[in-house]
Amino acid sequence: MSILEVIQLEKRFGGLEVLQGIDFSLNQGESLAIIGSSGSGKTTLLRCLNFLERPDKGRIIVNGQVIFDADDPSTQREGEVRKKRLHFGLVFQSFNLFPQYTALQNVVLAPKLLAKELPDFTKNKQSYFNEIEAHGRTLLDQVGLTDKLGAYPHMLSGGQQQRVAIARALALEPDILCFDEPTSALDPELTGEVLKVIRALANRNTTMVIVTHEMDFARSVADRVIFMDEGVIVEQGTPEEVFGNPKEERTRQFLARYKESN
């Protein structure tokens, strides 16, 4: 059974159709790479999954449960949005860390806020916070930042900040981890350290949707690849199919342009 099903998703901004009839599914432990030119709708798709944008049409199903249906107002209540976002961890292009908090504090902030809503929080506050901070330390260790727990964002390189952002997204234990061009704000020498972390997550069968312009990385890490153009999915398949033997002319042209520019 698929962990994620996206069915006929559409999104407009004014008269501009940014997403048109998007259909795909994702299995537990699968890594899906989404590629395409700027303006193809990739980022808007991630923002719809995370409810930073509300789709105009379509359905989103997670673990067999319809969490959004454009034709069902009961799935669109504002009070439910935060709960639904917990299904998706999102790592942005920019790091978006709170400058006044250390690396560890950035990672544990959201889990601590959620813990305060538990009915027995007052009684077990210290126990909850100790457990959350231990988990935060483990996550920062996993992304190679054991020695940076107390460092503030301005003390970290761009690559280190993005690794903190990845640990922060993992802290809420989302069903699906989404990346929106996670290396686009990094200098080339820092890109590798972030891609290494994502590769390790893939090796641990973390369920991921990765919007990326790193074609070689997508080819080597993804289980499946989607190519988007002008708001539609033009082609999807295994990396071998999409990169090695694309069926659609638009896919071939995109990959040829990428090869020429690199």
Tell me: the pLDDT tens digits for 113-122?
A: 999 999 999 9
Question: Count of alpha carbons within 13 Å of 216, Cβ hemisphere only?
Answer: 6
Indicate the pairing of strand 232-237 with strand 16-27.
unpaired
Percent of the chain with pLDDT over 70: 100
- How many other β-carbons are positioned within 10 Å of the β-carbon of residue 219? 17
pLDDT at 1 over 80: no
**Which residues is 110 bridged to in the sheet?**
none
Q: Model confidence at 78, in pLDDT bands (50, 70, 90)?
A: confident
3-class state of residue 13 by DSSP: strand
Do 226 and 22 touch, CB atoms closer than 8 A?
Answer: no
- How many other β-carbons are positioned within 10 Å of the β-carbon of residue 99? 8
Tell me: the pLDDT tens digits for 89-127?
A: 999 988 899 999 999 999 999 999 999 999 999 999 999
**pTM score > 0.85 for this model?**
yes
| CA distance to 45, 59, 70, 212, per residue, from 24 (Å) | 11, 11, 17, 17
pLDDT at 81 over 90: no
25: its two tokens: 């599914």
Do 251 and 66 touch, CB atoms closer than 8 A?
Answer: no
- How many other β-carbons are positioned within 10 Å of the β-carbon of residue 123? 10
Do 143 and 166 touch, CB atoms closer than 8 A?
Answer: yes
